[in-house]
Amino acid sequence: MKKELVFRGAATALVTPLTKDGVDYEAFGRLIDWQIGQGINALVIAGTTGEGSTLTDEEHREVLRFAAEKAAGRVPMIAGTGSNDTAYAIDLTRYACTVGYDAMLVVTPYYNKATQKGLVQMYNAIADASTKPVILYNVPSRTGVGIEPATYVELAKHPNIVGIKEANGNISKIVETFALVGDELAIYSGNDDQIVPILSMGGAGVISVLSNVAPKETVSMCRKFFEGDVAGSAGLQKEYLPLINALFSEVNPIPVKAAMAAMGFGEDYLRLPLTPMEDAHKKILLGIMREKGFI
């Protein structure tokens, strides 16, 4: 790896506990402490799972500041600073650099999309403005635009661009990306059902929704693989697949918000256009969580 790893293993794409009155900082602080106590390798704040796109600008900045202060350097901290407005993404990135973040996670520009040329120029502009490393976030099912493997080759040339959260779901394209830039960029699974397959190609870990509920187990899945216990790692991937499927039975973060509320970390409250989980899906999710001893 030609660029230094921000983290190796499992990073939680952390939920942001909300109420009708705003951010529940008491629950948020307890959640951060619990995650670190469970051995998580890093935390991602105000990303997709953290409902960053529905936070006001003031809330987004305060959530970032609070989380960095609460973590107090105990684990690497990664700020979700992506936007479809490049100027805003640059401004938020600069702010996160000043309040203690170790890296930025920058999603592709949703709705207005962009050509591959536009993506290169956008990411280079954000990376130029950042004093910390940048991890690219590719999730075309949500944003409507994907980063092509050949585009990663161009982006890898920037000294501040160090990694990829790859959630395109297309294993063939992911293998091609490893072949082209696997020695240049750290590649993290962005899908919990593909952790071990991506590790098997040389992946550096996962940025996970599952680890909100099961941080210790998600860390163990990665650690076993790195230690050579591939069968043990694969066993955990298969064991937790029903929980993963339940956590994605509705659009993220609807199910994981219900899960974290059941575990005592805030209310089951989301901002429109997201709505609470359907009862039938919630019954399955909570049933699996009880079976596994999470509630």
8 Å CB contact between 208 and 190: no
Is 269 among the catalytic positions? Answer: no
Q: Residues 101, 110, 123, 137: which is the catalytic one? A: 137
Q: Which two tokens stand for residue 35?
A: 């995650």
Question: What SS3 state is found at 216?
Answer: helix
CA angle 190, 194, 200 (to 5 degrees): 110
Active site residue 165: yes
Query: Sign of torsion, CA 198 203 205 208?
Result: negative
- Spot the catalytic one: 70, 101, 132, 165: 165
Residue type, 120: V
The beta-carbon contacts of 33-37 under 8 Å, at least 24 apart in sequence, are: 33/70, 34/265, 35/211, 35/215, 36/71, 36/74, 36/75
Which residues are annotated as catalytic? Answer: 137, 165
